[in-house]
Amino acid sequence: MPESLIREPPAAPVSDLCPEAPAPPPPRPRLGLVVAALALGGFAIGTTEFVAMGLLPQIAGGVGISIPTAGHVVSAYAIGVVVGAPVLAGLGAKFPRRTLLVALMVAFAAGNLLSALAPSYPLLVGARFLAGLPHGAYFGVAALVAADMAGPERRARAISRVLLGLSVANVLGVPVATWLGQTFGWRVAFAAAAVLAALTAISVRRVVPWAPADRGATLRRELTALRRPQVLLAVATGAVGGGGMFAVYSYISPILTDRSGLALGAVPIALAVWGLGMVAGNLAGGRLMDWRPVPVMFAVFLLMAAMFAVFTVTSAHAATALVTVFVLGMSLILPTGLQMRLMNVAGEAQTLGAALNHSAFNIANALGAWLGGLTLAAGWGLTAPMWVAVGLTLSGMAIFGASLALERRTDARGAAAAALA
């Protein structure tokens, strides 16, 4: 028989044999692309949060108020962050995380657009409060998304990359937005922040993978985080320990000009150096926290306290002051570590726990600036806020140590009870 007649017929395509076979799932987005989209939101938030400080004279003139009164615009935003983080995180926990992130960025864009259009001081204060509401919840949810995608061995690095947008904002976003505000009017700076937020919403919608909502998530369940001693201690660690950075940063301009002898025009360069230190802290902090989070946290607290003390000496000279400013900027390692800590101790209330990190650091902002200002008002000189920073940093470390001791004692009691059962 000819060979052509005994050949087996060609195999039927798989789709013909199994027409009901599902199509292969679409490829998962690359982690780097997702983190970049999330970090863009951090860039937008960081830009608008800090640019108001550099535009206070323009804002005051624009709505007919004094410069000290214009400072309330900054405070209103910070209060919005403190209030909005737990409230929006708790209410939004029942929604898919991608949906929640997009909604938060849309709300942030709206708050900044209202700020740009506000015709009077009361409306501007209200708009800044509204703009601050999504801040903490966005960072908290973004950290959860990045950590879940990265896996347990790389989650600190993923979280630090999300926070990297905040650091880059201090190097690029704030100077550019300040220039825009000084050249074309302060309203343009807030409008630019609204555009950045809208771009973030679009980017997140396109690249962050969709995942179903947690059906068991409720506001009541999320609020259980506030009854956990370890959550409250972690918030206290950030609120007190992080206050040191703001006690100095809030008065960095007069320190550099009146004590270090730096020209006023060079202050933005010094702030950019601080921002570069923040970027370096972000990049190093993620790897270090994935390696040994607890020893690294203690080491960072000690390093920061030492550097604030050293700054009382090095701030007397421009060159040494700038070197110290760079190292002080690296204190942004702390938010990455505390973000992980809150996610670890929040239990089922992950969304609220993660968001509380940014409430803590905005409390730190208010506390550090207030205590530093008290020492200056008392006439103790420009080095006094640095000693305040030393005290706050060491106090934060003490709270962190107390939380670990309590955790070990609780675990030991649980183990003993289980052994007796």
Residue with tokens 């506390």: 367
Cβ pair 238, 338 in contact under 8 A:
yes
The full set of domain ranges for the chain reads 29-217, 221-421
Do the domains spanning 29-217 and 221-421 agree at the CATH topology level? Answer: yes
Please give the CATH superfamily to which domain 29-217 belongs.
MFS general substrate transporter like domains (1.20.1250.20)
Q: How confident is the model at residue 362 (pLDDT cuts 50, 70, 90)?
A: confident
pLDDT tens column, 18-35? 444 454 444 556 888 999
pLDDT tens column, 83-119? 998 899 888 988 999 999 999 999 999 999 999 999 9
Identify the pLDDT of residue 20.
46
Lowest-pLDDT range of 67-71, 121-125, 273-277, 311-315: 67-71
| Mean pLDDT, range 391-399, rounded to an integer | 98
pLDDT tens column, 133-186? 999 999 999 999 999 998 888 888 899 989 899 889 988 888 888 888 888 999
Please give the CATH superfamily to which domain 221-421 belongs.
MFS general substrate transporter like domains (1.20.1250.20)
| Mean pLDDT, range 59-79, rounded to an integer | 84
Identify the pLDDT of residue 12.
47
